[in-house]
Amino acid sequence: MSKSWIDEALAQSELGHEGLAAEGRRQLPLADREQQVLDRIDRARRRRPKVREERVTMSHGAGGKATHTLIEAVFLDAFRNPLLEPLEDAAQLAVGGARIALTTDSYVVSPLFFPGGDIGDLAVNGTVNDLAVSGARPLYLSAGFILEEGFPVADLQRVTQSMRAAAERAGVHVVTGDTKVVQKGKADGCYINTAGVGVLERDGNLGVAQAQPGDAIVVSGPIGDHGITIMLARGELDIEADICSDTAPLNGLVADLLDAVPGVRAMRDATRGGVATILNEIAKAADMGVLVSEDAIPVREEVRGASELLGIDPMYVACEGRLVAVVPGEDADRAVAALRAHPLGEQAAVIGHVRAEQPGIVQLKTAFGGTRIVDLLVGDPLPRIC
């Protein structure tokens, strides 16, 4: 932020100032004044996003508010077109009569190898999943490698073998690729970029904007496994736990779900930003309220323990093999049954519902019985001592 960021913030708020003059405001009864302030905040939140920072920070990569602002203010602004606008996990294209889905992802995880998988697994599974949750049958992947000078060839082979095995498991093929090498100090060993193509064979359009009051929100299994695994694998926290990444290809699971419930409204791959981010995306895109129940959300004991120890909320922690689905209320039980019948969906559960009240806002009913708002984080969930 620039040195005068405070002055800028104050000046900007003057520009956006609406409503009565201060004295006029004070005449209103207390509850109305509070409501005015809340309305003002809501309007400010819905305003066109603007990137205030001069430089990209780690927050921009976390999948939260900063990322969304960057995407909307920079990328969407520049590339604007109707195919990009929905900002779903994959773009849905019509090419010569066929409907295809196209997605892209980059993998920059560190460490490259961790309990439950490696960057190669993530690269294949992540791309397959983006296609699957868009309703497509994943077919072909590209794999671009950016390698750091000095990276051991043995590690590269290990990563590619993982990708081969993952591709086989998912039923896709890597059909094209690229290799670049950069100087020592860049690329953290190895970065991978992928693009994925799948075919949209089913009728109907999936999209979170279609969520309607009464819809159920379903998650396919326990959350937070991957993100916590990575945090612990970085070795800085000296914590031992039997947690491993949940990275997995979800196309089989998705197919089962869509077979059982063709009326699924939307699905999302819960990656960075966690389940909380997806719930907010649903609320915002559909302009609906979302209410979820804390004790309905599956979390492994160890993930809970590690999160409590670090002061992190598992709802914001990345997964790599979990989907969140929005299904019509009457189909909820059938959806959960279909998911649970599949090995990757054993602990699937309904975690909440879409509703008309409080549009755009995600609320959580705590295990304790009270309610609180689950907002987008600005950046990554940070371990806290307070």
Cα gap 334→146, rounded to integer Å: 44
Binders of another protein in range 7-46 (CB under 8 A)? 9-10, 12-13, 16-17, 22, 33-34, 37-38, 40-41, 44
| Cβ-based neighbour number of residue 130 at 10 Å | 26
Beta bridge partners of 107: 192
Q: Which of 93, 175, 309, 356 binds another protein (CB under 8 A)?
A: 309
Q: Please give the residues from 42 up to 81 whose contact with another protein meets the rule CB under 8 A.
A: 44, 52-53, 55-59, 65-66
Q: From the CB of 291, what's the least distance to another protein, in Å?
A: 11
**DSSP 8-state code for residue 208:** G
| 161, amino acid identity | Q
Total interface residues for another protein by CB under 8 A: 65
Pairing mode of beta strands 371-373, 362-365: antiparallel
Positions 81 through 140 that interact with another protein (CB under 8 A) = none
Mark the segment that binds another protein (CB under 8 A) among 77-85, 150-158, 230-238, 244-252: 230-238
- For residue 89, give the 3-state DSSP assignment: coil
80-88, 135-143, 320-328, 356-364 -> range binding another protein (CB under 8 A)? 356-364
Structural element, H or E, at residue 275: helix 274-286
Q: Which of 156, 199, 241, 244 is in the footprint of another protein by CB under 8 A?
A: 241
**Of the residues 95, 304, 333, 345, which one makes contact with another protein according to CB under 8 A:** 304
Q: Using the rule CB under 8 A, which residue among 2, 138, 139, 207 binds another protein?
A: 2
How many whole angstroms separate alpha carbon 39 and alpha carbon 213? Answer: 23
Q: CB atoms < 10 A from the CB of 183, how many?
A: 9
Q: Which residues contact 230 (CB under 8 A, 6 or more apart)?
A: 109, 111, 114, 245, 318
Alpha carbons 217 and 345: distance in angstroms, whole number:
14
Check residue 245 for interaction with another protein (CB under 8 A).
no
Closest-CA residue to 167 (of 189, 147, 136, 143): 143
Nearer to another protein, 182 or 309 (CB): 309
Give whichever of 36 and 210 is closer to another protein, judged by the CB atom: 36
- In angstroms, the CA 334 to CA 110 distance is 39
Nearer to another protein, 82 or 370 (CB): 370
User: Which residues sit at the interface with another protein, rule CB under 8 A?
Assistant: 1-3, 5-6, 9-10, 12-13, 16-17, 22, 33-34, 37-38, 40-41, 44, 52-53, 55-59, 65-66, 236-243, 301-302, 304-306, 308-311, 358, 361, 363, 365-373, 375, 378-379, 382-386
